[in-house]
Structure 1
Amino acid sequence: METNNNAANQGKVEEQLQSMGEGKKDEILSSFETFKSYLGDKVAKGEKLGMGEEQLAKTAQKVADYLAAHEEPRNREEKLLQELWKVGNEEEQHKLAHMLVRMVQ
C-alpha cells in the first residue's frame, strides 16, 4: 500500500510542477533563498502528512529531475545543483535529494 501512496504522491508532484504558471516558477526560482523557503514549506507539509525522510527525499528527487529537464537555473546555486545533478548517478542524486531535504528542515 505504501508503494501505491508513494507513486500517487510523486504523480501529484509531477502534475503540480507542470501546471504551475511561469510567473510562480520565476518567483520561486528567482533566488536561492526563495527556493529554499519554498522547498522547506513543502517538506514541512509532507512531514505533517506523515511522510518520512525517505519519502520526502524521493519527492525532492522527482522535483529535481523535473527542474533539471525543464528549467534553466536562475542563479549560481541552482546552476551548481543542476551540474551536480547531471553528473551524479541515480544513487548520488538520491543522496543529494536527502541532503536538500535536511538542508531545508
Structure 2
Amino acid sequence: MAFESHNNAENKVEEKLQSMGEEKKDEVLTSFETFKSYLGDKVSKGEKLGMNEEQLAKTAQKVADYLADHESARNREEKLLQELWKVGNEEEQHKLAHMLVKMVQ
C-alpha cells in the first residue's frame, strides 16, 4: 500500500509542476533561496506523509528531471545544478537528489 501511495505521489509531482502557473514558477525559481524554501516545504510535507529519504530523493529526482527538461535556469545556482544534472548519469543524478533533500531538511 505504501509503495502504491508513493507511486501515486510521484505521478502527482509531475502533474503539479505542469499545472503550476508561470507567475508561481517565476516566484519560486527566480531566487535560489526561495527555491530552497519551496523545496524544503515540500520535503517537510513528504516527511509528514511518512516518506523516507529514498522516497523523497526519488521525488526530488522527478522534480529535477522536469526542471532540466522544461525550465531555464534563472540564477547562477540553478544554472550550476542544471549543468551538473545534465552531465550526470542516472546514479549521479539520484545522489544529487539525495544531497538536495539533505540540503533543505
TM-score range relative to shorter protein:
over 0.9
Equivalent in the alignment of 1:86: 86
Q: Does 1:5 align with 2:5?
A: yes
Aligned amino acid, residue 52 of structure 1: N
Q: What is the TM-score when the length of structure 2 is the normalising length?
A: 0.97
Q: Which runs of 4+ in 1 moved over 4 A?
A: none
* Partner of residue 41, structure 2: 41
CA distance in 2, matches of 1:66, 1:44: 20
Letter aligned with residue 2 of structure 2:
E
Question: In the TM superposition, what is the alpha-carbon distance from 1:5 to its structure 2 partner?
Answer: 2.0
Percent identity of equivalent pairs: 81
User: What is the root-mean-square deviation in Å for CA atoms of aligned residues?
Assistant: 0.7
C-alpha distance in 2, partners of 1:25/1:67?
10
Partner of 2:96: 96
Deviation, structure 1 residue 7: 1.6
Shift of 1:86: 0.2
Secondary structure at 2:36's aligned position in 1?
Answer: helix
Residue correspondences, number: 105
Shift of 1:3: 3.1
* One-letter identity of the residue aligned with 1:94: H
Aligned to 1:15: 15
Any unmatched runs of 5+ in structure 1?
Answer: none
TM-score, normalization by structure 1:
0.97
- Map residues 57-72 of structure 1 onto 2, 5 A cutoff: 57-72=57-72
